[in-house]
Structure 1
């Protein structure tokens, strides 16, 4: 007979909780009684669990709940060592497989473990993974239930902290690319958010504010994950951000996340899906509404229409976005402001997609003029995009100047999109490598690649 492996996860949790086996058994029996189960576990039962035996469901969930109450953070059944191991990690990406918060925490914590992390990194973007989201009225509010021992109900300072963390990580992503500090954000959500939202569900404006703040944090994580080249995982994080915004009844945040999902689909050349998501975002937000958000949403729909060859629709949406941007908030935190640099860059992409290259280059130059110097990622990508357009009309020397400035920013960045721009630079300049400006830029690029 094969020898069972000792349950080190359960032993570690007992140590963290400062419990004996008998104390854990009594806690599990008590939770079972509250659910109408007659359980008679004792210290001997726990001793068997420690040597590798596994009780039948729902006992692993009750053990996890008991530890959650004791240690003041969300403990999942898989973390007790008592749940049957999954044959694969596909359930981590399956929509609707778990509660919103539980599924999110499971996903974030899985990133800290080698085997599921490798699976998640390989997962691809799937058009069938998520039905086209639509807004439905949130379910009727439920009465507030007593707080689980060890968990804190959110207070205004918690919401402020979550918002500040979203600002910090969004700024890091703009400065250094999405692959920089991305895993740290996943760990933060897996730990700190579980303490805040992992207890008994609550209702009221403060709970909704906390859900929206977490939705924004997960939205930032999804954007960073996509920029790190993990598109399937990013898609799943976006779905969690949507679900949290829906729970909070926040159409604004829901629409903003749909817009980001449209950008992801467009980047992956799924033009129809991108257009559907852009339309859905505007439908959810409605009009009249916040001019900042409307400008942000309209310019994305203009871009998806441009890629689908709908010139008149694209130009009409672009004009509408520009009118609303005149009344928009231009400076401030993520999810609040839409800076001119962002609008100019999107205008450029619309014109370039429509074949109006001169207008596109003018808009890219306007975007560069408005970019903060510390936003290395956006500045670098704008220089690269402008260089590609200039080379297309034969302005090799000017294109090399912009590519050189792109390469000056490159060492600051950890971004799959920036890496693709570097590869595109080499591909486009290789036929011109005997020209001295092109040769100098290629030498600089190859040095970065060697590093």
Structure 2
């Protein structure tokens, strides 16, 4: 259940129904207004902020209930073609976010069902670019699960979906995630080529560019984060550390989970470079941050660091690390 589909094509358009929890009553149909759609968008922004700062576990349950009780009745409501497209687009965004928060708590099969439904809704909205963003999200999940080949395939289908005229920031996102897939596979040359395309694309971005809302958070900090992960996976630890440090310098505090991930990448790199004390200090800081979130991914990042630390378990720095983590409670 944890493996993204081998065929990443958009599924055929069908009945629109977000994945549901048992025992949930549906509300009656209703006429959908512009205000309703604006509310869906605002709710999406709110849950995105919660997810970035505190983890998917904080946002997911309330988001799922909102989808079931508010968004789904709207999909079964009354609206014209133009309003319908905007409604489907807003519902696609919330559904993708439900998948993302499910992924963050390691409910991977459920996450994939949300992603597939988000693809259908994006298709109904006529929004190929957003469909590509959903595929990109699925590629990120494949990277996390270690399915590098599927990650590359999904990223490439996403690239085809937006085409060469996509804004530079979008192109940079797509190439960066493809690079992550190559890194998981140990394909250093292909990874380097994708990284270079991502860097060049972001380098051509200009403040006045029209960038879709879902791509606006992709900046120098995020690109450095992706590059750090790539070099870590390729065991190029000195370069990984440089990119991780740059990302941490640039990344806004509100992206707490991303900062934690990058801190662990830096800790792992320092450990591999023989800088045990610094690695343990960074790891302990990340462990404290993870304890304040509801994110299975955050916990797994810390556990990965601890597995790498195991050969040094008798060193003073490792004992200090364990003491600090134990004190977190």
TM-score range, shorter chain: 0.7 to 0.9
Residue 27 of structure 1 corresponds to which residue in structure 2?
Answer: none
Residue 63 of structure 1 corresponds to which residue in structure 2?
Answer: none
**Contact 1:368/1:379 (<8 A) preserved:** yes
Higher mean displacement: 350-359 or 180-189: 350-359
Aligned pairs (5 A) from 1:242-321 = 242-321=119-198
Aligned pairs (5 A) from 1:169-188 = 169-188=47-66
Structure 1: runs of 5+ lacking an equivalent: 1-94, 114-148
Aligned-partner Cα distance in 2 for 1:417–1:150: 37
Structure 2: runs of 5+ lacking an equivalent: 1-9
Aligned pairs (5 A) from 1:37-436 = 99-102=14-17, 104=18, 107-110=19-22, 151-200=29-78, 202-326=79-203, 327=205, 334-436=214-316
Structure 1 residue 203 displacement after superposition: 4.7
Aligned-partner Cα distance in 1 for 2:249–2:24: 40
Q: Which has the higher contact order (CA 8 A, sep 6+)?
A: 2
In the superposition, relative to structure 1, how do residues 426 and 354 fare at CA in structure 2: closer, same or farther (>3 Å)? closer
Q: Which has the larger radius of gyration?
A: 1
Which structure shows the bigger proportion of residues in helix conformation? 2
Aligned-partner Cα distance in 1 for 2:235–2:302: 23
CA RMSD of aligned residues (A): 2.7
TM-score scaled by structure 2? 0.87
Query: Aligned to 1:410, what secondary structure does the other structure show?
Result: helix
Aligned-partner Cα distance in 2 for 1:294–1:225: 26
**Contact 1:252/1:293 (<8 A) preserved:** no
TM-score scaled by structure 1? 0.65
Structure 1 residue 312 displacement after superposition: 3.1
Aligned-partner Cα distance in 1 for 2:251–2:136: 22
Aligned-partner Cα distance in 2 for 1:209–1:437: 55
Aligned-partner Cα distance in 2 for 1:269–1:432: 26
Stretches of 4+ moved more than 6 A in 1?
95-98, 329-332
In the superposition, relative to structure 1, how do residues 222 and 412 fare at CA in structure 2: closer, same or farther (>3 Å)? same
Structure 1 residue 309 displacement after superposition: 3.9
In the superposition, relative to structure 1, how do residues 290 and 98 fare at CA in structure 2: closer, same or farther (>3 Å)? closer
**Contact 2:169/2:215 (<8 A) preserved:** no
Q: How many residues align?
A: 316
In the superposition, relative to structure 1, how do residues 96 and 292 fare at CA in structure 2: closer, same or farther (>3 Å)? closer
Aligned-partner Cα distance in 1 for 2:149–2:316: 43
**Contact 2:229/2:265 (<8 A) preserved:** no
